[in-house]
Amino acid sequence: MSEQCIFCKIISRETPSDILFEDDQLIVIRDINPQTPAHLLIVPKEHITGLDGLMPEQSPLMGHIMLMSKKIAKQAGLADSGWRLVINCGADAKQTVSHLHIHILGGRSMTGIMA
């Protein structure tokens, strides 16, 4: 845990947040600056700075996150219409918090082409 990290503070309940789901490995919260009608964040409880800080032994955690994203999208009512997962890594990708987090985006038709 990083004492300065906003996600670590949310996980420790030092900073309040709208936690929608929690298990022993992750929490799911609403993004405070939503880019789509449904914009949720999956945040691992372990402080990992980003994808570039991921270690091979954390593969089971990432698998768990991917499987949980499906469950969370379904609970959010996005399963039938479609949803997107986004992971930003580094400054040029606009990663604004140095704690790995995965965006679940949905609730409208996505614009633009992902290339």
Tell me if 87 sits within 8 A of 110, measured CB to CB.
no
Question: Active site residue: 39, 99, 101, 103, which one?
Answer: 101
**Would you state the structure tokens that stand for residue 54, as one six-digit string?**
């991921």
Half-sphere exposure of 11 (CA within 13 A, CB side): 22
76 and 29 Cβ atoms separated by less than 8 Å: no
103 is catalytic: no
Give the active site residues: 101
